[in-house]
Amino acid sequence: MTETVVSNQDLDTAGLFTPIEVKSLRLRNRFAMAPMTRQFSPGGVPRDNVAEYYRKRAAGGTSLIITEGTLIPDPAAGPDTRVPLIYGDDSLDGWKGVVDAVHAEGSSIIPQLWHLGAARGAEPRMNPDVPSVSPSGLGLDGAPVGRAFTDTDLEELKQFWVDAAVNAQKTGFDGVELHGAHGYLLDEFLWEQTNVREDGYGGSLEARTRFPAEVVAAIRAAVGPDFPIVYRFSQWKADHYDARIAATPQQLEHVLTPLVSAGVDILHPSTRRHWEPAFPELSGVEGARGLAGWTKTITGLPTITVGSVGLDAVFTGAWNPGSTAGTTDLNPLLEQFAREEFDIVAVGRALLSDPEWVNKVAAGRLDERIPFSRDHITELV
């Protein structure tokens, strides 16, 4: 990939308001809403308030809504009864209302399919009698949590992911995103600290990628060739911000290539600061390239960038009660877009506080953006 030289006079937001198509997914601009769990669905059922919450962001100009994590049908998928489910008649009926509300505003919507693995913990509120399960029965700190998957478990687990994706397709969603980041289940297979298996699913990086790739392939076979599959991955894990699944671009290629071959259409590398270089130990333009840029360079697939877009504080510090994040200019984002490092940008906390954020950017009303505040999140619709 040849790097594009960017000068300040080249920077404007017009390119972010051009359409993009990926298989059956057609977006009117390059802005997505990042998935953010709020636990506003008692009993796992999204209701009218959830539909209105997403509708407002669609009406505010966001072209693609990526929902909060939705738990797949495994009873050990999640810890909390207020996280929405992507199975069961009541939950799917609720999601149908959300989908219709977003579509009515001219936007697309995909659910994030979620299984926490060992991150569910030892004392979940949801299905407390069901032990947590993970590749090796280890938490992110290396301590034993629950139990490790057996071969039979893995086949059943794969079907849970497929059932969730088929449910999403039948409900009218425009695609699905698999949550394979942040130390959750699929990421626990990738990370050598949480995967110490000695069978074909552990050991080398290629073997650790095997199960996530099998999940993607099974979903692709079930939903057909045109239904978009997004895969979210990360280097960092919760409370392990220096963690890496790939120490070099070559190792990153070993992770991503099987996922692409299995049927992923869009990659969503999650970072805490989108402008930070992925491999700063390299020199020149390669040393400055972000994780989204490396992902696109390696795979050629459409790529979503994310991480503190338009804000001056990262997710961790600004997520605590009483914390805030102020607005910043978008020059780093625009520079990366001009260098073709990403195709879509996911906006998180900025959209929580300001549903009109994208429309304000489109109209050049950057000074009207609302700073993020954690204190009023529970009041947000």
Active site residues: 184
Q: CA–CA separation, 321 vs 258, rounded Å?
A: 40
Q: CA–CA separation, 194 vs 214, rounded Å?
A: 19
Find the Cα–Cα–Cα–Cα dihedral 318, 319, 320, 321, rounded to 10°.
Answer: 100
Q: CA torsion sign, 179 to 180 to 183 to 185?
A: positive
Strands 324-325 and 31-33: unpaired
Q: Phi, psi (5° rounding) for residue 302?
A: -55, 140
Calculate the alpha carbon distances from 45 to 39, 52, 353, 380 in Å: 10, 14, 23, 18
The amino acid at residue 147 is R
Tell me the two tokens of residue 308. Answer: 């503190």
Q: CA–CA separation, 42 vs 115, rounded Å?
A: 18
